[in-house]
Chains A and B, each alone.
Chain A
């Protein structure tokens, strides 16, 4: 019986040593944020360099605003809104900044059929920058989360043909298809020929015009805002006739594809 007790003691010691040892191997996210742009994670270099606000402050902003009550990081959190582990890498700091400043609705909110509303947090400029720096560091500290979707890997390695069902492969091609077909049917109102007006303005050359339409807004942000909130900026001389529910009709990916296509119309 005494030997069994000794065995138990040894097992307990092994377990505790294993836990402590494993913990010590975890890198510090604060340090990871510095130079994160040099990794292959596509982290925005403007927010993850030596001049960026301290990620610790961003973590404090994250905690004090109870972001994890709705969002998740590494899949842990409320689960009522998008996982933000790779948000900066996927959407870029500009778009995230615009959402946090309430200049742009979060695309995932619009795309979701259930209208969960992001509260107005009223963050200061410094807090927003700190939060973006923190999210960049999270992205850098979890290089394997989430893994690249199998289908993308298979397409990249040539194991399967890109989108074998309708031979649509790149975002631009998918966007061109969405532009001309249901549910968006953009082509029924917008021509792609210069000066050819159907209902709305022609979109020929829209990639160039989008850069300068609204000061301070990138072409991507302007186009996304025009799709999701068409009444926010009306081209002079045109009525406010565009459908207001495109955000509910199209998925986030479809909107991204349409924007990718429009950006080719230089």
Chain B
């Protein structure tokens, strides 16, 4: 049965897949900067604008997936709730924003901050609307997922608005930079992780024999430790800005907190994945990938990055950005799993929607390009920071690793391309489905 809420979710998933494809293609184009410094590409597409587009499409894909997943969770928990075509129309604004923001980056139109604040507003409104539809708070499985998902959506929305409004709140460079870093952590490390945990536990419950009570407790506990770890991972961005000694000392505790959070999530996922039921889809693979990326991004790179003695060397290098990159990729993997699971259920055929080929290609692409990014960070620290090589000379030394990252980018493009193909070929036939709910 395809309710209109699920129909709206399906539209958002379509947008998610399209944005992932565009992001992967654009990331490959921007990554080509390492091939030739004076390429024709550089004159056609200024790289800073291209990098902005890449980030905008990534954000658009992630949030579209989160919103679509939230609708599925709400429709599943409260099938009797208000279910009208307004859902579909309501997300027209969102779709327009996902298209408009990258275009503004490309054309250098100074509307980006305003549009991104609007994006945050839409996410907040969606969270509030789903909170209402979902019903009263309860100590149930659905109630716990609702709590975690809406808290995550609120963090994403607030983070986006805060980031866009930072220049209005303070004219000081240091405070503006600190505010933007914390806003990014609020929307990325915290909000994205929370919503992804809610989607992950919904999938784990669907594909395993776990009881709802166990899954609900697991979701709340994992969300709690991840949110604390996310806050700790945001602190290193403040170290170079003259953060107080107390903050630096407190931040150092992250080296213990972040791995505990990542291991707790991994342990819960493992418990579910070893006890899969007969109707399990490929969602389990994607959750496993998400957990591995969180283990690496939060539990290893992020944890060591919180040490003030280490962070002072890695600040502003690709190594410092790797934690956020891998943990957002972990959330993306969970969203791709959610699409797989939700589409299999919508079709009424519990079969592979997108196959294993895209899974392995995307996993290799994300892990490979992340590893290249990490190595580039190490080279920059060793040359520029330790030996005192000039900044641009160090960048030249990093360039071959950038080319290595391009191979990862190419695998991601192929993987997401095959995923999109599977998504289109095994699509839900909407004209027959709409209105039957």
Contact across chains for B241 and A11 when beta carbons are under 8 A apart: no
Contact across chains for B390 and A74 when beta carbons are under 8 A apart: no
Contact across chains for B139 and A22 when beta carbons are under 8 A apart: no
Q: Which of B46, B167, B320 contacts A75 (CB 8 A)?
A: B320
- Answer yes or no: A30 CB below 8 A from chain B CBs: yes
Q: Contacts A4-B217, A10-B224; is A147 near B390 (CB within 8 Å)?
A: no
A54, B388: Cα distance in complex, Å: 32
Q: Which of B139, B182, B213, B239 contacts A144 (CB 8 A)?
A: B239
Chain A contact patch, size range: 35 or more
Contact across chains for B231 and A14 when beta carbons are under 8 A apart: yes
Q: Contacts A8-B221, A80-B48, A134-B173; is A142 near B37 (CB within 8 Å)?
A: no
Q: Which residues of A contact B423 (CB under 8 A)?
A: none
Contact across chains for A15 and B227 when beta carbons are under 8 A apart: yes
Q: Contacts A2-B139, A4-B217, A145-B315; is A76 near B177 (CB within 8 Å)?
A: yes
- Answer yes or no: A23 CB below 8 A from chain B CBs: yes
Task: Give min CB distance, B306 to chain A, whole Å.
Answer: 12
A216, B406: Cα distance in complex, Å: 48
Q: Which of A19, A76, A108, A115 contacts B391 (CB 8 A)?
A: A108
In this complex, the member of B147, B174, B235, B243 whose beta carbon has the largest number of chain A beta carbons within 10 angstroms is B174
Contact across chains for A26 and B148 when beta carbons are under 8 A apart: no
Contact across chains for A75 and B173 when beta carbons are under 8 A apart: no
Q: Which of B46, B173, B216, B235 contacts A29 (CB 8 A)?
A: B173
Q: Chain B 244-256, CB within 8 Å of chain A: the 1/0 string?
A: 1011001000000
Contact across chains for B139 and A145 when beta carbons are under 8 A apart: no
Interface-facing stretch out of A149-157, A195-203, A226-234: A149-157
Q: Contacts A22-B243, A30-B171, A145-B240; is A151 near B387 (CB within 8 Å)?
A: yes
A202, B177: Cα distance in complex, Å: 51
- Answer yes or no: B225 CB below 8 A from chain A CBs: yes
In this complex, the member of B220, B235, B239 whose beta carbon has the largest number of chain A beta carbons within 10 angstroms is B220
Q: Which residues of B contact A79 (CB under 8 A)?
A: 395
Q: Which residues of A contact B238 (CB under 8 A)?
A: 22-23, 25-26
Contact across chains for A12 and B151 when beta carbons are under 8 A apart: yes
Q: Which residues of A contact B175 (CB under 8 A)?
A: 23, 26, 28-29
A56, B170: Cα distance in complex, Å: 10
In the complex, how many residues of chain B place their beta carbon closer than 8 angstroms to a beta carbon of chain A?
70
Task: Give min CB distance, B257 to chain A, whole Å.
Answer: 11
A225, B352: Cα distance in complex, Å: 67
Q: Which residues of A contact B244 (CB under 8 A)?
A: 25
Q: Which of B46, B190, B234, B316 contacts A145 (CB 8 A)?
A: B316
- Answer yes or no: A251 CB below 8 A from chain B CBs: yes
A23, B129: Cα distance in complex, Å: 31
Q: Which residues of A contact B220 (CB under 8 A)?
A: 1, 4-5, 7-8
Task: Give min CB distance, A7 to chain B, whole Å.
Answer: 5
Q: Contacts A5-B139, A22-B243; is A12 near B224 (CB within 8 Å)?
A: yes
- Answer yes or no: A32 CB below 8 A from chain B CBs: yes
Task: Give min CB distance, B110 to chain A, whole Å.
Answer: 10
In this complex, the member of A19, A59, A112, A143 whose beta carbon has the largest number of chain B beta carbons within 10 angstroms is A19
Q: Contacts A4-B217, A32-B174, A114-B396; is A78 near B186 (CB within 8 Å)?
A: no
A21, B48: Cα distance in complex, Å: 33
Contact across chains for A141 and B216 when beta carbons are under 8 A apart: no
Task: Give min CB distance, B171 to chain A, whole Å.
Answer: 5
A252, B286: Cα distance in complex, Å: 48
The 3 A-B residue pairs with the shortest CB-CB distance, nearest first, are A75-B316, A114-B37, A149-B388
Q: Taking beta carbons and an 8 Å cutoff, which residues of A are in contact with B?
A: 1-2, 4-5, 7-8, 10-12, 14-16, 18-19, 21-23, 25-30, 32, 55-56, 59, 63, 66, 69-70, 72-76, 78-83, 108, 111-116, 134, 137-138, 141-147, 149-152, 251-253
A-B contact list, 30 entries, CB within 8 Å: A1-B140, A1-B220, A4-B217, A11-B223, A11-B225, A14-B231, A22-B182, A22-B234, A25-B244, A25-B247, A26-B178, A26-B241, A30-B171, A69-B46, A72-B316, A73-B177, A74-B316, A75-B317, A75-B320, A76-B177, A78-B48, A78-B51, A115-B37, A142-B240, A143-B242, A144-B240, A146-B315, A147-B313, A149-B386, A251-B393
Supply 5 further A-B pairs (C-beta < 8 A) apart from A15-B227, A146-B316. Answer: A12-B151, A15-B190, A15-B228, A144-B240, A150-B387
